[in-house]
């Protein structure tokens, strides 16, 4: 049985203060050193919940849980309120219902005018619908797939960041992503296109390629992805890929050589231009991009990068076990007198 609040005549609700009127059965709460119904900081004690699973009191009532009131800021509207629980929403927005819908309205960042990106700080300006963001140090995580029934605005997720060290430049940065290993300067986050932009792309039948001018000059990209290309748009993902197919392969290759061989794309370009895109061993000219480009030759045991050579020379070195002695013997073997002359010499010796 739940004890009734004598001030309201109903069951206790969350964040209700200690009642001022006496209980009909003469029940009284125990006093503490700070005063009746007052916590440590002089703030009132607020109701949290009934302990329905706990053993009942001697008079047959459910035990109650009370917490010291703390000043909190609503994550939805930014209004400060007192709560004895770890609530992130004020009483007004706490009862607001949400339903699953990804087609709702996504708030734009009032400081940038674009959609929120991961690790964006709380904006200082007020949003278009009047929301004031609390300056609590949290960073943006993602848009949820839930939408408010009242204003059709998609809910947002804000989290407390963790400090990490960039694997590329070594600088420390704050992030809410568990998988992120690079800072935002070394690996910037791509802005999510708005619904209006996607609709314009679908009408035109094309969208811009996100690669920079240097990569476009290497791949011959015009900076536009056509609608008929399946990698540009799809039914499941209306925005599709951010790069055209040649640029996507080039960007992926540049990311791989950094992790595999420890060289930057700038270093690869400098050596390629110095060799005039020719193999350092045989001198055969190769393409600037694609599968027929110069590959990175390195020692598998030490990881030492020797240079840029063609695929045929790289396979030859690999087949000879990367052993310099084997390579020297192979070079001597290539310029020998041949099998017939060797057979004649062996016949003379046998005689």
* Predicted confidence (pLDDT) per residue in 148-191, tens digit: 545 567 778 888 999 999 887 788 999 998 888 888 777 765 55
pLDDT of residue 149: 46
Beta strand pairing call for 139-148 and 154-159: antiparallel
Q: Which residues, at least 6 apart from 258, have a Cβ–Cβ distance to it below 8 Å?
A: 168, 264, 265
pLDDT of residue 114: 82
Listed range (171-185, 223-237, 275-289, 321-335) with the worst mean pLDDT: 223-237
Structural domain range at position 57 = 1-95
- Give me the CATH number covering residue 285: 3.40.1800.10
For residue 234, pLDDT over 50 is answered with no
Confidence of residue 123 (pLDDT cuts 50, 70, 90): very high
Here the contacts of 333-340 (C-beta below 8 Å, separation 24 or greater) are none
Domain-terminating residue out of 95, 120, 154: 95
For residue 204, pLDDT over 50 is answered with yes
% of the chain at pLDDT higher than 70: 83
Average pLDDT over residues 126-141: 87
| 203 CB neighbour count, 10 Å cutoff | 9
For residue 351, pLDDT over 50 is answered with yes
User: Are the C-beta atoms of residues 65 and 48 closer than 8 Å to each other?
Assistant: yes
Q: Quick check: is 345 in a domain?
A: no
Q: Which residues, at least 6 apart from 143, have a Cβ–Cβ distance to it below 8 Å?
A: 106, 115, 116, 154, 155, 156, 157
Average pLDDT over residues 304-317: 89
Confidence of residue 199 (pLDDT cuts 50, 70, 90): confident
> In terms of domains, do 88 and 140 share one?
no
pLDDT of residue 139: 92
Total number of domains constituting the chain:
4
> In terms of domains, do 118 and 72 share one?
no
Confidence of residue 308 (pLDDT cuts 50, 70, 90): very high
């Amino acid at each position: 049985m739940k004890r009734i609040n004598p001030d309201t005549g109903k069951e206790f609700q969350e964040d209700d203060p200690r009642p001022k009127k006496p209980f009909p059965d003469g029940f009284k709460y125990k006093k503490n050193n700070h005063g009746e119904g007052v916590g440590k900081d002089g703030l009132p004690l607020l109701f949290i919940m009934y302990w329905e699973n706990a053993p009942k009191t001697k008079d047959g009532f459910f035990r109650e849980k009370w917490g010291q009131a703390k000043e909190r800021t609503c994550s939805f509207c930014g209004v400060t309120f007192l709560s004895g629980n770890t609530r992130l929403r004020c009483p007004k927005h706490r009862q607001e219902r949400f339903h699953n819908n990804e087609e709702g309205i996504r708030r734009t960042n009032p400081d940038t005018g674009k959609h929120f990106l991961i690790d964006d700080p709380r904006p200082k300006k007020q949003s278009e619908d009047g929301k004031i963001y609390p300056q609590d140090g949290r960073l943006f995580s993602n848009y949820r797939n839930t939408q408010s029934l009242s204003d059709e605005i998609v809910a947002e997720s804000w989290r407390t960041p963790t400090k990490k060290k960039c694997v590329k430049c070594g600088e420390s940065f704050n992030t809410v992503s568990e998988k992120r290993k690079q800072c935002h300067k070394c690996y910037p986050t791509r802005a999510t296109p708005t619904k209006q932009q996607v609709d314009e792309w679908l009408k035109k039948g094309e969208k811009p390629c996100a690669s920079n001018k240097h990569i476009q000059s290497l791949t011959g990209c015009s900076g536009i992805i056509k609608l008929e290309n399946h990698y540009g748009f799809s039914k499941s993902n209306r925005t599709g890929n951010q790069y055209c197919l040649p640029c996507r392969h080039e960007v992926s290759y540049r990311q791989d050589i950094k992790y595999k061989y420890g060289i930057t794309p700038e270093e690869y370009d400098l050596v390629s231009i110095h060799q005039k895109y020719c193999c350092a061993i045989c001198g055969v000219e190769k393409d600037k991009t694609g599968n027929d480009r110069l590959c990175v030759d390195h020692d598998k045991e030490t990881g030492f990068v020797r240079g840029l050579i063609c695929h045929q020379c790289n396979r030859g070195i690999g087949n000879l076990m990367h052993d310099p002695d084997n390579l020297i013997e192979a070079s001597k073997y290539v310029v020998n007198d041949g099998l017939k002359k060797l057979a004649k010499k062996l016949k003379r010796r046998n005689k």
